[in-house]
Amino acid sequence: MESSHQTPIHHLAPDPLLGAEDVTFPRGFRAWGWQGGPHLKMALIWSDREAAVAGRFTTNAARAAPVTVSQEVVRGGKSRGVIVNAGNANALTGEAGRRDALEMQRRCAERLGVAPHLVAVASTGVIGVLMPMEQIREGIDRLAEWAQGGTAGGTLSAAEAILTTDTCPKTASIEVRLSRGVVRIGAIAKGAGMIHPQMATMLVFITTDAAIAPQALDGLLGEATDNSFHGLSVDGDMSTNDTVLLWANGASGVELATTEDRESFQAALTRVARHLARQIAADGEGARHLITVRLSGARTVEDARQKARAVVRSNLVKSAVYGQDANWGRVLAAVGSVGEPWDPEKASLFMNGLALYRRGRPEPFDEAAARRVMGSWEVVFEVELGEGTASAEAWGCDLTEGYVDINAHYRS
């Protein structure tokens, strides 16, 4: 095969409007990471003042204890930050898991001198194992000590400390010029496997120094999430721990004063979220190719999203991309398996610009050329349905032996 063994994330082109800074890019936010052992890392993201907070979480009925704790924080609309651990999901751990998540929240709050309801909690890692609370307590104390002392702390950044099977940290940042000044947005994320809406096995933490009320912040995050993380699928498995949190601490003193301000901020936030989503898809466990699906001509946006996601989650499509086999019928079969009906006689399909099917007829193509196209680190399928004006984009990756190997031995 012509494709590189290097993961696609290393080939991901930078967005010219985005920086690589993290959650500390906006004014008034700091972050620390701590290595507690081979199977435990922790991070603290903190605002120097009370911030509005919004969140989106897994819809899995088996959601983890930290998810329920953070949902309660978000319902309150205010937060100072989040305490995170990687290595243990604290999911399906019963009442003991709930107590442990609340202890994490309470201990962090006490060490930093704030009310517990201002501290969110997030966890990622192995499901069904009780938390190593002695180590967790040590980590919280160390992170709080660094936060109070203003030190950088530890050998790991917060972006590295939240990773599990990821090959590298995922960050993004942007400045937005509004009518009354400039605001900043920064973010970190983790995610590589157990990725499927709603949302994915991922933790995403986004900060901004804009002054935004909780209700407005929730609307902004909802739209950004719908157009980014809800278009992700690495393996079709929904997580118990998905958490996306967005804080706005107002440290810039700049509000979204006009409709144009809101639109500009929304576009920037969505751009950050989409870039993180592409990083997560490109870093899928064992991945060698990023798969992007751009579907247009659907009757509704929701139908377009559903159909695009069906393609990126199809094991047949994923396997064909890995094998560089232009078995393009699998793409349209996946599109036809969900949502509203459509007429194949109106549809067209292109792969990295190569016409495969046009208005109901297969297009002749050179197999060697198709294989070369599929050797690209990003394989883009463009599906035109011809039924309406709605469109959507989704991201995933190929299915390789590497994915099987990682997940066959995850606990060992």
3-class secondary-structure state, position 118: helix
Q: Which residues contact 375 (CB under 8 A, 6 or more apart)?
A: 1, 2, 3, 324
Cα distance between residue 248 and residue 173, in whole Å: 14
**201 assigned to active site:** yes
Please count the other Cβ atoms lying within 10 Å of the Cβ belonging to residue 60: 17
Residue 197 CA to residue 189 CA, distance in Å, equals 16
Q: Residue 183's closest CA among 239, 306, 266, 302?
A: 266
User: Residue 124 and residue 64: Cα distance in Å, rounded?
Assistant: 9
Catalytic: which of 24, 165, 201, 208?
201
The secondary structure of 310-345 as a DSSP string is: HHHH-HHHHHHHHHT---THHHHHHHHTSSS---GG
| Cis upstream peptide for 199 (omega within 30°) | yes
Q: What is the signed CA dihedral for 353, 357, 362, 367, rounded to 10 degrees?
A: 30
Phi, psi angle pair for 369, to nearest 5°: -65, -40
d(CA 311, CA 193): 17
Which letter does DSSP use for residue 345 in this model? G
How many residues are listed for the chain in this entry? 412
Active site residues: 201
